[in-house]
Amino acid sequence: MKAASTNQIIPNNIPELQQLVTQLLSKVDDHISEIKKQTAKITEQNTEIELLRHKLQAQLAARFSSKSEKHNYQNDLFDEAELPEQDQIKSIESADEEITIAAHTRKKTGRKPLPNDLPREQIIHDLREEDKVCDCGCQLHKIGADTSEQLEWIPAQVKIIEHIRLKYGCRNCKGDSGVITAPAPKLPIPKSIATPGLLSEIITSKYEDHLPLYRQEKILQRMGIDIPRATLSNWMLKCGQLLLPLIPLLKHYIISSKYIQADETTLQVLNEPGRNNTSKSYLWVFKGGQSEKPGVIYEYHPTRSGTVAVQFLENFTGALQSDAYSGYMQFKASELIELYLCWAHARRKFSDIVKANKNKPGKAHMAVNFIAKLYAVEKYARQENLDFNQREQLRQDKALPILRSFKTWLDDSAKTVPPKSPIGEAISYALKHWNELIKYIDNGEVEIDNNGIENLIRPFALGRKNWLFCGSPEGAEAGAVIYSLIQTCKLNNIEPYAYFKYVLAKIPSHNKDNLKELLPKFIDRLAIINAYTDSFLA
């Protein structure tokens, strides 16, 4: 078939020609619109692919890489072949702003000395009499000795304490009317075989050493002592109830301070009324008090609702530091509480990208480098033992210029990255909470991050991996009480076992109006030391 000629396709009159051009232009517009849609779809798919690739790399890094956020960013940050020109300029400029800190002298490594207060047994090794004669025939005389130390382990020892209560009677009185018996000592758990020392050992083994009760049951069985796990669990509940009156006093001490850190973590609790056993509950943690003698409280709650924080901080006035969870962000509008956010959380969003893209330096590496400079200022303040006023002045002089440069970089970078990409979300988080992040430079008492409270959650998380869940709400509440006192002891350099042995012996007969004396901050440290020493000398 012959192809149609051009004259047959193109009309000869103007109206038909105009109509044809209009139709063609309409089709071109449709094609352009479709191309734009496809291009947008491809861009969206590419963004989603990059996001999924990042999530995969992040999961692989979380599973197989180090959990530490420490990284030598300086070495790979300034790879000029990988960075856009604008970032190259900024990296060079930021390199000129390095923080100079005092030279560090590495401590000589070696074995640490053994404690002087431990019992010592001397074994003297002497020569045989025939070896004390020199080859020349003279008698050797002692000129000194070489001493070396070894640490011996003696398995735990148990003993039975018999309480013998003498009775006295009157021969002239009939029946029991004239009989008087010596009063029984007040025990932590009435009619129980558990002494304060045994209860303290079980408490510290479970809540400090993360040893579940069923393992402790087996340890006792190896020593010939059969105490069922249910009994051990009941003892922990009773101890929690006995120590519970100390918690309101500890809370009052924390609330009375001017600076509190807060965080929360998940907890699985069985047999909660109206809830499935698979439901998540929460352990809320609040740290405060004097900087040199802080206190910490753990509170069990079935919910993560912000009302928990509101109730705890009802009478608090001062600085609250937390992450950006909405339960804490509600205090942003408070007139009595000033909210500070955590730089570690802001850094973590960039660090996760760095871990997933170690060989591709980019904007995340730049951001982490800015934040590393802020932490260098804090490290210098610690090394120089600066007080709060001096640290605030140091931050104004050194940290403030870094923050200004970082803010400019964040504003510029936000315009060039996809908002829903990992780097876009990390930049958006920092910009959204910028005011709460930089407040710390105006308050020398406030830390740069919330790591202090996160470090107090870590022991609980380790224990949770071992005992998995709490058997009841009562068990969760008792555990929260014990965790509060253990971690407060550690913050105040008090040995937890000695503390519980002393307090469990004292609290049953202690004056209820003076229970404050049993808090780790106010307790008689000499008595604690004696309780600890007695446990070895017994």
Give me the tens of pLDDT residue by residue for the chain, a chain 538 residues long.
444 555 556 777 777 777 778 888 888 888 888 888 888 888 777 777 777 776 776 676 666 666 566 655 443 333 333 344 344 434 434 444 455 555 555 556 667 888 887 888 899 999 888 888 888 889 888 888 888 888 888 877 888 889 899 988 888 877 667 788 898 888 999 989 999 999 999 999 999 999 999 999 999 999 889 999 999 999 999 999 999 999 999 999 999 999 999 999 999 898 888 888 888 999 999 999 988 899 999 999 999 999 999 999 999 999 999 999 999 999 998 999 999 999 999 999 998 888 877 767 788 999 999 999 999 999 999 999 999 999 999 999 999 999 999 999 999 999 988 888 889 999 999 999 999 999 999 999 999 999 999 999 988 888 888 777 888 899 999 999 999 999 999 999 999 999 999 999 999 988 888 899 999 988 888 877 776 666 544 4
- Specify burial of residue 449 (Cβ count, 10 A radius: 0-12, 13-18, 19+): buried
Q: How many residues in the chain?
A: 538
Coil, strand, or helix at residue 138?
coil
CA angle 145, 151, 154 (to 5 degrees): 130
CA angle 62, 65, 70 (to 5 degrees): 100
Q: 3-state DSSP call for residue 506?
A: helix
CA distance 490 to 501: 15
